[in-house]
Structure 1
């Protein structure tokens, strides 16, 4: 595909042209899969651009592994100037992210980092990862209401990597497992799909949060807001778009602009705006209108 054609596809997303997304959906999904393999690290993207269409995925994966190893080196580089044991806790928290995201309930569990682990053991390590921009934190809110920050529950959150390509390497997921067929959209219990949406929301200036009810029977994967209202977001990694929690929350909280991301083309399902996983930029365009 020539540069001009790729630029036109990007413009379709950036301008939230839902009709044209439907026309070019297969091509856009193909590029989405490439992005899920490569991610956004400049050197990895550079190799992709230089070698496409005969992409050198081996080199890209090696670059990603080198970056991850560099992170680990940085964790211990300044051990003498850090509080005792912090470099180890940084590595433990970072290494736990793939398994934390693989669970159905992706709430970060200190006990999943280390048996018997508590918040006070890892709070500083988590903050260092956030300050270094290699991790993204999504805080739970006690109520999905405007303004979201007023309802932050600081004791409950989800932790994501900052780059989907790095998460792929951390999971040891081969490029072929993502590029061949649709298996990636059902793998790792939606971890890749949520990672993708989370980092894209952050890239477009949103501060995503999430919500669960008291007994965690209903959950909204993400919540964002613009200057006027809250937008509930559900993320689907497969083609089954059953959305009980989203529909229940629409009735309970009166949401006017619910969104569901999935591998399928855009459509309207009652009050729900369905958008493809590659179209977070379209959400940003629509909420700014």
Structure 2
């Protein structure tokens, strides 16, 4: 594919042209798969650009592993200037992110970092990761209502990596597991889909939250807002778009602009706006309107 063709595909996403997304959906999904593998770290992107179309995924993966090793080195480098044990807790929290996201309920569990772990053991480590911009935190709200910040439940949150390419390497997921076949995400599809949407929401300036009811039988994967209303977001990694939680929540809370991200082309399903996983830019356009 020539540069001009790639530029045209990028423009379709940047301008949120839903009609053209439908026309070029297969090509856009192929580029989405590349992004799942490469992520956005500059050196990894540089290798991709220099070696495309015969992409050197081995070098890209090595760069990602070097970055991850560099993070761990940074955790220990300043051990003497940190509170006692903090460097170890930084590594423990960071290394737990893939398994935390692999669970059906992705709420961050301190006990999954270390047996018997408690909030006071890891709060400072989590904040350091956030301050370093290598992790993203999504707080639960007690009610999916405007303004979201008024309903923050600071004790419940999900923790994501800042870059999907690094998460792939942390999971030891091969490039082939993502690039080959019809599945966009392979066996870790749920975690990768949410990771993608989360980091893209953050990149477009949103501060996403999530919501579950009291017994966690109903969940909205993400919630964002503009200056007027809340937008509930459901993320689907496969082509089965059954959305019980979203539809129940629409009836209960009267959402006017629900969105569902999936590997499928854009369409309307009743009140729900279906968007492809590569099209978070379209949500940014919708909320600015």
TM range (shorter): over 0.9
SS at match of 1:144: coil
- Do the aligned residues in 2 keep the contact of 1:250 with 1:258 (CA within 8 Å)? yes
Q: Give the aligned partner of residue 124 of structure 1.
A: 124
After TM superposition, which residue ranges in structure 1, 4 or more long, deviate above 4 angstroms?
none
SS at match of 1:183: coil
- Do the aligned residues in 2 keep the contact of 1:102 with 1:189 (CA within 8 Å)? no
> 1:75: how far off?
0.2
- Do the aligned residues in 2 keep the contact of 1:103 with 1:189 (CA within 8 Å)? no
Once the two structures are superposed, residues 163-219 of structure 1 have per-residue CA deviations (whole angstroms, 9 ceiling, x without a partner) of 000000000000000000133435225000000000000000000000000000000
Q: CA distance change for structure 1 residues 195 and 121 in 2, over 3 Å: closer, same or farther?
A: same
> 1:9: how far off?
0.8
Q: CA distance change for structure 1 residues 118 and 217 in 2, over 3 Å: closer, same or farther?
A: same
- Do the aligned residues in 1 keep the contact of 2:177 with 2:185 (CA within 8 Å)? no
TM-score by length of 2: 0.99
1: distance between equivalents of 2:29 and 2:211? 29
> 1:16: how far off?
1.3
- Do the aligned residues in 2 keep the contact of 1:22 with 1:265 (CA within 8 Å)? yes
1: distance between equivalents of 2:271 and 2:216? 24
- Do the aligned residues in 1 keep the contact of 2:177 with 2:186 (CA within 8 Å)? no
Q: CA distance change for structure 1 residues 186 and 176 in 2, over 3 Å: closer, same or farther?
A: closer
TM-score by length of 1: 0.99
Q: Give the aligned partner of residue 203 of structure 1.
A: 203
**Structure 2 alignment gaps of length 5 or more:** none
- Do the aligned residues in 2 keep the contact of 1:186 with 1:238 (CA within 8 Å)? no
Q: How does 1:242-257 map to 2 (within 5 A)?
A: 242-257=242-257
- Do the aligned residues in 2 keep the contact of 1:264 with 1:275 (CA within 8 Å)? yes
> 1:15: how far off?
1.3
Greater displacement, 52-61 / 6-15: 6-15
- Do the aligned residues in 2 keep the contact of 1:36 with 1:178 (CA within 8 Å)? yes
* Number of residue pairs the alignment of both structures matches: 289
SS at match of 1:224: strand
2: distance between equivalents of 1:183 and 1:114? 33
> 1:26: how far off?
0.1
Once the two structures are superposed, residues 30-86 of structure 1 have per-residue CA deviations (whole angstroms, 9 ceiling, x without a partner) of 000000000000000000000000000000000000000000000000000100000
1: distance between equivalents of 2:184 and 2:78? 38
Greater displacement, 6-15 / 157-166: 6-15
1: distance between equivalents of 2:212 and 2:187? 23
Instruction: Please tell me the root mean square deviation across aligned C-alpha atoms, in Å.
Output: 0.7
SS at match of 2:215: coil
1: distance between equivalents of 2:269 and 2:185? 21
